[in-house]
Amino acid sequence: MLNDITVFNIREYLSDKDDKILGEEMLQQILSEFSCEKNSDVEKFLKGKSIEFTKKNQSVTYLVFSNEDAALVGYFTLTIKPIVVKADSFSNTMKRKIARVSELDVTHGTYTLSAYLIAQLGKNYSEGLSERITGKQLLQAAIDTIKELQYMAGGMVIFLEAEDNEKLMEFYEGQNGFRKFATKDTKNEAEDSHVLIQLLKVM
């Protein structure tokens, strides 16, 4: 794990142990200090859904703190979901790796597999804290956590969904080795449908 940050599973706050320092009330206070004007969905999820989703085992959220002063600098959320990948999207080497953990549909030329999803990834823009961690550091913290899960339970594929813009694609593909494999139409209660790019990385 990166030396200048500490990653904390929010289950530690939600456990039944008698700990006067931790607890859901303390967790709510910490989450209230998070702000992400660049992506309101990231902020809304952390404050409104992360605790409920973790309690229900739908996903688990991890808080990222600066070791310098324990400031909350970001967070990420992980879960496991099935994906379908077209076989012709990748090189033969990549196909062989994916085939180890998937089921091939010869008729449609697709692999179906369960993969680790980085469902949320966000920096805290409150009071200039976003300068304390880079996007690459935050993503690497999520990947390192997944590698720990891989050690205990196996699995080889990480995926995520991102807005279709050049800067994000350069970040994920150019700088961090993810590959596009599909697109997804989505919409929420307040917006019209829009397209997300699905990208994966084999560990």
Q: Which CATH number characterizes residue 160's domain?
A: 3.40.630.30
- State the average pLDDT over residues 176-203: 82
Which residues span the domain enclosing 182? Answer: 5-202
Q: Indicate whether 2 pLDDT > 70.
A: no
**Which pLDDT band, with edges at 50, 70 and 90, does 1 fall under?**
very low
Q: Indicate whether 84 pLDDT > 80.
A: yes
Mean pLDDT of the chain: 90
Q: Which of 23, 44, 26, 48 has the alpha carbon at shortest distance from 35?
A: 44
- State the average pLDDT over residues 10-22: 75
Strand partners, 180: 199
Can you tell me the distance from the alpha carbon of 14 to that of 160, in angstroms, rounded to the nearest whole number?
26
Can you tell me the distance from the alpha carbon of 69 to that of 203, in angstroms, rounded to the nearest whole number?
32
DSSP state of 32: T
pTM over 0.75: yes
The per-residue pLDDT for range 86-112, each reduced to its tens digit, is 988 788 888 888 888 899 898 988 999
Q: Which of 33, 127, 22 has the alpha carbon at shortest distance from 72?
A: 33
Instruction: Answer for the pair 65, 13: CB distance below 8 angstroms, yes or no.
Output: no
Instruction: Count up the domains in the chain and report the number.
Output: 1
